[in-house]
Amino acid sequence: MPERSGAGKVALVTGSTAGIGRAMALALAAEGFSVVLNGRRAEAEAKAALSEVRSAGGDENSCIYARADVSLETGREALFEAVRARFGRLDVLVNNAGISTEGRRDMLDLTEEAMLRVLRTNLIGPFLLSSRFSDLLMNGEGARYMVNISSISAYLPSVNRADYCLSKAGMAMMTKLFAARLAPYGVRVFEIRPGIVRTDMTAPVAERYDRLIDAGLLPLGRWGEPGDVARALVAVVRGHHDYSTGEVINVDGGFQISRGAL
């Protein structure tokens, strides 16, 4: 059996107790990585995810859960200390934690408090967390990666989710900034940009998306699944894109293809 790409390596996936984050954590464990799961819920509530990821890795000691809110400085510091104390290294940082606009309110009705809530979790927190972990990434050995999980909302304006769109557009630039800063140290940085993926976040509007997909919105004609995003991440950590950095990988069923008549 060929050696798994993550053997002896450590990966942190923020927001990884459900949905896309959980699927990515499972995929990394299957690749042989020791995985740090993260979320805001108590460890007892993350028990199922923890057990599942440990089973995927085949080693009960290869996965830990670090409860931390990446939007808070105290949370970011606690997460860093948990990784440093347990493993002393980090090879893959996946910035996945994110929230959406509360109530999908009109952009003209957004309050400063509501905007900051989204921006702190989706952009400010991941940026500062990435800065905090940069020493471990830069001083590591072998291939190291930072992967930011963005959204088609990085370029697609939704006037009832303006704060979310702004946060994801900011993450696109964050990817380029860290790619430029960390390239001399051998760290590759990517943005994975999912489209319409079946998760708890999209559940409230699932019927609407069903109708749009049935009407031909997506060239590939189906919902995305968390596993689709996880497989894109695996391609990165296996080194299949190692002459690239700062790049966007679209996982959107072809949504970004312009199909307007000329």
Residues serving a catalytic function are 164
Assigned token pair, 132: 């905090």
Assigned token pair, 261: 């008549």
What is the DSSP code (8-state) at residue 248?
E
Q: Which residues contact 151 (CB under 8 A, 6 or more apart)?
A: 164, 168, 193, 194, 195
Which residue's structure tokens are 């919105």?
217
Task: Specify whether the CB–CB gap between 243 and 190 falls below 8 A.
Answer: no
3-state secondary structure of 10: strand
Strand 187-194 with 92-95, pairing: unpaired
